[in-house]
Amino acid sequence: MKPAPPKIDPTKRTFVPPPPEFSLKAARNVIHAFVLVLAVTLVFEVAAWFTTSRSNLAAGCVRSGMQWVLTQALNEGNKDVQLGREGWLFAQAEINRLVHAKHDANEVHAGLIKLAARLKAQEAQLLVVAIPGRLALYPEQLRPGQYGGPVRLKDEAEKIAALKEAGIDVLDMTDALWEFRDREQIFFAQDSHWTPEAMKAIALALNKHVREKFPRLASTETPIINATILERDDAGDLSRRLDLFRPSRLLGDEAADLISIQGIEPDAKSPIVLHGGELMRVYDDPTLSFGGGDKPPKAGFATQLGTLLGRSLDVRDLPQAGDAYEDKKLVICLLPMAELVP
């Protein structure tokens, strides 16, 4: 059967094009293409379950490409990292803790009270240094507004008071860092760690506190050291958690000037123990942000504090059940507030 000829418009003496039709064949082609795209993506994702995204190039490319579109065009993050204002990134876990009051309980607070009782029997003192998170000090980068002070959880005052009642010396650095942020940046925009300037400010405050309360543990002599300034650039661990391909090209790098100090090495025989996690190791560990280069820098918190106190420290990870403290006089725990008050 021949198709009907197009209608003729007698006023224009020309052909009137027929209305567009979406044929069944065209619809099938669209469905097939859509199913094919979903199938390819699904295959890549299933393959990623058995191999890491770094080794599975196909899955990594698909995921990174989609995230690039979300970040560049829609200003969206992923399940781990949320985009804030002015290029700031925030971990979703930090947002859940402060904004949505969602968190996982831990035994850090109870463990510190037990440790304090154990140290008291050995005539040693426990000193806890609490460091607030990025969102507590820069809330306006996530939610615009006027903030008269840092953002805190209601439980913080109660938890800190309980530590002090147990005989623990507590340095809550939240208010001090809130004032310090008017002079220096405390945290990076794309990295979860503190800046070298903020780290040094806390080391100075802790050095002053130790010298006032434990004068016999600090040296009055200036140690012989060799200091070198290192310039480091890094895209930040939060930008890498977005799973972007080459995040530096999309988000840029941030710079840090580190002071690498040689001459103050950790000493297990020191009467001062310094416990800490990534905050303590960030500028010493080559696997962490700004720690790359030809050789690992010696610019972390333990090195800074040891130089100020004029003596080596017994540097350890966060407290464990089997830790021994014989002949120790002071045990310092450098903790994020999110660990102390989850």
For residue 153, what is the DSSP state? -
pLDDT, tens only, 284-322: 998 899 986 667 788 999 999 999 999 999 999 999 988
Instruction: Output the six-digit token pair for 315.
Output: 């540097």
213 contact partners, CB below 8 Å, separation of at least 6: 169
Residue 14 has pLDDT above 60, yes or no: no
Counted residue by residue, the chain has a size of 342
Biggest CA pair distance of the chain: 108
pLDDT band for 6, please (50, 70, 90 cuts).
low
Question: Does 190 have pLDDT greater than 80?
Answer: yes
For residue 105, name the pLDDT band (cuts at 50, 70, 90).
confident
**What is the DSSP secondary-structure string of 80-101?**
SEEE-STT-EEEHHHHHHHTS-
DSSP class of 215: G
- Cβ-contact 193, 295 below 8 angstroms: no
CA gap 259, 276 in Å, rounded: 20
Q: Could you tell me if residue 293 is left (phi over 0), alpha (psi between -120 and 50 degrees) or otherwise beta?
A: left
Q: Which residue has the tokens 């903030």?
A: 147
Judge contact between 333 and 275, C-beta under 8 A. yes
The pLDDT-based confidence of 22 (bands split at 50, 70, 90) is low
The confidence score (pLDDT) of residue 291 equals: 80
**pLDDT of residue 131 exceeding 90:** yes
Residue 137 pLDDT more than 90?
Answer: yes
Q: Determine which of 97-106, 150-159, 189-198, 273-282 has the lowest per-residue pLDDT on average.
A: 97-106
Q: What is the pLDDT of residue 108?
A: 95
Residue with tokens 């996690």: 277
Enclosing H/E stretch for 169: strand 169-172
60 pLDDT above the threshold of 60 = no
Global pTM value: 0.80
| 183 or 247: which leads in pLDDT | 183
> What's the per-residue H, E or C state across 262-285?
ECCCCCCCCCEEEEECHHHHCCCC
Q: How far apart are CA 75 and CA 97, in angstroms?
A: 22
CA distance 305 to 303: 6
